[in-house]
């Protein structure tokens, strides 16, 4: 099977072709970072217009790079949510047009499922496995039991981890996008200079909270001479912030691992896998801390290659291909969804109330 994937949920326009034997024939991503940099964040209207300008061209480039021709496609997949609705509509409508004209099955893919199944594309993992999905808009722990079968163990009660990175970068004047900027500054910093909190750490359950940590960064900056951070201060605060995020993620992951292994004990010498995915999974320190924590708890740590952690179309094509194999196709009336939880029993916002029973 060969499936074309289209991704337009946020600020990357992407197109890719993936095969049933896990080969990525093409994977083209156009970033909009420079368009949004003046605003220090993604502007939905600018994002949607950029997708309109570039989606058709990138699909043509992806098909040319794949070298299979339109007759070589078995389906077309597109992100149908969650995301910025203007951008989602661009990609999904384009996929519908291709499906109709070429007589191909349409696969309307949940963007989060794209991340959730990426480890099966990159590493060939078997179900079930435990997933930590960390990005600018999402932070949750899920048991991945099969295609379309997800159980959420915990999620953020306020900011997602990536959102906290962006806001911290803004407070420290490190630039945009915040994740890479904080990581770069942290490499020069002393993580122990400033005492920053670890919200939710040590508490029962698997939920996250990062707004208090972000507030602590703001107060730390305000307490500096002149209320501003110099280069040394910024590096040290960035290092302390990054370490705090990693510690919180590891703590929450340990709770989820215990719950997951009680339901899915290891049945072979290879053990169960703990997978980290999403844009924040590209942070090397977070990978290292999570790797040590999960392996200490008896699971095998797995992370997709860095270019498959951030938003891309290969993961959408692969998720579509997995669904196509199972006959899980969609008709042309499928509506784009700005919110769409993987676990349908979860709060549609993807966030949980503090203290919510699990």
Whether 138 and 171 map to the same domain: the answer is yes
Are residues 145 and 70 part of one domain?
no
The helix (H) or strand (E) run that includes residue 232 is helix 231-263
Whether residue 194 is found in the same domain as residue 294: yes
Residue partners of 278: CB distance under 8 A and separation at least 6: 115, 133, 134, 135, 138, 162, 309
> What is the SS3 assignment for 311?
coil
Residue 238 belongs to domain spanning:
126-304
- Token pair, residue 212, equals 């208090």
Q: What are the pLDDT digits (tens) for 90-126?
A: 999 999 999 999 999 999 999 999 999 999 999 999 9
φ/ψ (deg, to 5) at 199: -60, 135
Domain assignment present for 357: no
Q: Does 73 reside within a domain? A: yes
Tens-place pLDDT, residues 139-186: 999 999 999 999 999 999 998 999 999 999 999 999 988 999 999 999
Residues in the chain: 358
| CA nearest to 319, candidates 23, 118, 89 | 118
Do 73 and 212 have their domain in common? no
Whether residue 330 lies inside any domain: the answer is: no
- Report residue 262's pLDDT band, with 50, 70 and 90 as the boundaries: very high
The model's pLDDT over 131-151, given as tens digits with 9 standing for 90+, comes to: 999 987 889 999 999 999 999
> Residue 351: what are its φ and ψ, rounded to 5°?
-115, 160
- Which residues have C-beta within 8 Å of that of residue 238, sequence separation ≥ 6? 168, 169, 172, 174, 182, 183, 185, 186, 189
Number of domains in the chain: 2
> Residue 146 sits in a domain of what CATH number?
3.30.420.40
**How many alpha carbons fall within 13 Å on the CB side of residue 60?**
4
Prediction pTM value:
0.92
Domain boundary among 304, 334, 351: 304
Give the ranges where 19-43 is alpha helix by DSSP (H): 33-36
Per-residue pLDDT tens digits for 191-211: 999 999 999 999 999 999 999
344 domain-assigned: no
Indicate whether 345 belongs to any domain: no
Is the model's pLDDT at 326 over the cut of 60?
A: yes
Residue 264, pLDDT > 80, answer yes
3-state secondary structure at position 154: strand
pLDDT band of 353, cuts 50, 70, 90: very low
> Which of 185, 187, 188, 181 is closest to 162 using CA atoms?
181
Does one domain contain both 158 and 100?
Answer: no
Classify residue 139: in a domain, yes or no.
yes
- Mean pLDDT of all residues belonging to the chain: 93
184 & 294 share domain: yes
Task: Tell whether 348 is covered by a domain.
Answer: no
* 75 and 91 belong to one structural domain: yes
Q: Based on the fold, state whether residues 202 and 111 are members of the same structural domain.
A: no
Whether 156 and 108 map to the same domain: the answer is no
Q: Which backbone phi and psi does 209 adopt, to 5 degrees?
A: -150, 130
Q: Does residue 206 share a domain with residue 80?
A: no
Contact at 8 Å (CB) between 28 and 55?
Answer: no
Q: Are residues 141 and 263 in the same domain?
A: yes
State whether 162 and 222 are in the same domain: yes
In a domain, 349, yes or no: no
pLDDT band at 358 (very low <50, low <70, confident <90, very high): very low
Asked whether the predicted pLDDT for residue 236 surpasses 60, the reply is: yes
Q: Residues with Cβ < 8 Å from 46, sequence gap 6 or more?
A: 32, 35, 36, 39
């Amino acid at each position: 099977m060969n499936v074309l994937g289209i991704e337009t949920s946020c600020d990357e326009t992407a197109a890719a072709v993936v095969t049933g034997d896990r080969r990525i024939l093409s994977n083209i991503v156009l970033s909009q970072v420079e368009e949004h940099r003046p605003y220090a964040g993604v502007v939905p209207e600018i994002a949607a217009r950029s997708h309109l300008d570039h989606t058709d061209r990138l699909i043509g480039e992806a098909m040319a790079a794949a070298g299979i021709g339109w007759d070589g496609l078995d389906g077309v997949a597109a992100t149908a949510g969650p995301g910025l609705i203007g951008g989602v509509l661009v990609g999904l409508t384009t996929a519908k047009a291709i499906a109709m004209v070429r007589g191909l099955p349409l696969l309307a893919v949940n963007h989060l499922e794209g991340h959730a199944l990426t480890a099966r594309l990159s590493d060939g993992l078997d179900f079930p496995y435990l997933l930590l999905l960390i990005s600018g808009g999402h932070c949750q722990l899920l048991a991945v039991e099969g295609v379309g079968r997800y159980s959420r163990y915990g999620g953020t009660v306020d900011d997602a981890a990536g959102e906290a990175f962006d806001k911290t970068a803004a407070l420290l004047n490190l630039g945009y996008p915040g994740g890479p900027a904080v990581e770069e500054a942290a490499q020069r910093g002393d993580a122990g200079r400033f005492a920053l909190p670890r919200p939710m750490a040590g508490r029962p359950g698997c939920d996250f909270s990062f707004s208090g940590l972000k507030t602590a960064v703001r107060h730390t900056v305000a307490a500096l001479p002149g209320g501003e951070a110099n280069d040394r201060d910024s590096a040290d605060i960035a290092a302390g912030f990054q370490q705090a995020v990693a510690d919180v993620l590891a703590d929450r992951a340990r709770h989820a691992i215990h719950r997951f292994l009680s339901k899915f004990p290891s049945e072979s010498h290879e053990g169960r896998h703990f997978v980290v995915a999403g844009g924040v999974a590209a942070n090397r320190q977070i990978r290292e801390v999570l790797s040590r924590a999960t392996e200490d708890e008896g699971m095998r740590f797995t992370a997709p290659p860095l270019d498959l952690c951030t938003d891309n179309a290969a993961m959408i094509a692969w998720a579509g291909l997995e669904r196509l194999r199972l006959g899980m196709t969609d008709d042309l009336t499928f509506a784009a969804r700005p919110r769409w939880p993987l676990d349908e029993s979860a709060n549609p916002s993807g966030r949980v109330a503090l203290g919510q029973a699990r």
